[in-house]
Structure 1
Amino acid sequence: MARVSQEHLDARRRQILDGAARCFARNGFHATSMQDILREAGLSAGAVYRYFRSKEELIEAIAEEAFGEIRAAFDDAARLDPPPTPDVLLGRVLRHMLIEKVPGGDGQAFARLLLQVWSETLRNEHLAATLADGYAGLRLAWATLVDAYRAAGLMDADVPADHVARTLIATAQGFIAQQALFGDVRVEAIEDGLRALMSMHDPEFS
């Protein structure tokens, strides 16, 4: 029997994850059955269960992948000299996650999926641990970027790096929530808004 290549295995796993993500975004996590995912992915039960034993494992894998891609974008940015400013970086990451990465560019559907992941952590300890690890990684990545901003003379050093990190993560989360709930929120809006806030100054020190 011919040995299955790693490339084939990776492609099959990708096929399953994409099918599950479409189902979850369209029908919600709890209203989606494994049979729905099998039909969406066009695969047999045996093929899917070889990779994932449950919906919970699928949603955890989707969450881990999303955090991994976002963390990689921040790590890449921290190596640039000078690093991209928060408006540019957040715009780049959100555009990738909500437009470029999503089939058909349906950012609202993917944003709804992320909101479901967040809410599911309230009842799923394993997913909560995955989310906590991802959040900690993002805070560390942003804190590293703050150090890079300071080294480049772009930011004052009187605010703890973790405070900046938490604020910018909250900004991204708020944008995703708006996209999920209301739709039609353009990434340019957050880029422009952050740029305007970054331009503010205290007139007493002008």
Structure 2
Amino acid sequence: MPRVSQERLDARRRQILDAASRCFARNGFHATSMQDVLKEADLSAGAVYRYFSGKEELIAAIVGSVLAEVREAFEEAVLESPPPPPDVLIGTVLRRILHRQPTLGEAGESLYPRLMIQVWAETLRNPELHAILEGGFAEVRKPWIKIVEAYQDAGMMRADIPALSVARTMVALAQGVVAQYALFGDVPIQGVELGVQALMSMGDPRTRD
């Protein structure tokens, strides 16, 4: 009997995760059953349980996948020397997250903002998921810190402020935009970029002659 290729196994796993993501984004974790996931994926129970033992494992895998996507986006920016300015960097990463496949429904709305809101809410009651998210965001902050240090080395940013403080603030900005997108619909990313530009242009009037 021919062995199933790793590529096919990975594709099937992705199919299940995408189906579960759509279900969770639409109805939340608690209102979604494994039967809902099976129906959405158009697969048998045996096919799904071969990859995931249940809903909790699916949730953890989805959270890990989303965090890896965000981390990868910023790790790519670290390779540039100096990295792009904050407005360009944040805009690039937001477009990658908000326009990422799969989408939700016929309108083509990205499901990840709604899914992230569900994840954050679930984290408040699920210690295991909290640990995954906490560790994931610690990894996400690492490339941010490297980016800030590169700004400081290039003279683009004040060097007397801890890089971690700046990194946390930039992550919070990206999270806030994702939350607005999930709650209120499409958020013009160009507007976010312009807002960051305006904040970057501010000077301290107390230092003027």
Q: Same fold (TM over 0.5)?
A: yes
User: Mapping of 1:1-206 within 5 angstroms?
Assistant: 1-103=1-103, 105-107=108-110, 109-206=111-208
- State how far apart, in whole Å, the 2-side matches of 1:158 and 1:198 are: 16
Cα-Cα RMSD:
1.4
Change (3 A) 1:101 1:154: farther
Per-residue deviation, 1:204: 4.2
- State how far apart, in whole Å, the 2-side matches of 1:126 and 1:197 are: 37
Change (3 A) 1:148 1:101: farther
Matched-pair contact (CA < 8 Å) for 2:100–2:112 = no
Q: Give the percent of matched residue pairs that are identical in Structure 1 and Structure 2.
A: 60
- State how far apart, in whole Å, the 2-side matches of 1:61 and 1:159 are: 36
Report the TM-score when normalising by structure 1: 0.94
Which amino acid counterpart does residue 178 of structure 2 have in structure 1? Answer: I
Per-residue deviation, 1:53: 1.0
Report the TM-score when normalising by structure 2: 0.93
- How many correspondences in the alignment? 205
Unaligned runs of 5+ in 1: none
- State how far apart, in whole Å, the 2-side matches of 1:102 and 1:93 are: 17
Per-residue deviation, 1:110: 2.2
- State how far apart, in whole Å, the 1-side matches of 2:98 and 2:130 are: 22
SS at match of 1:91: helix
Unaligned runs of 5+ in 2: none
SS at match of 1:100: coil
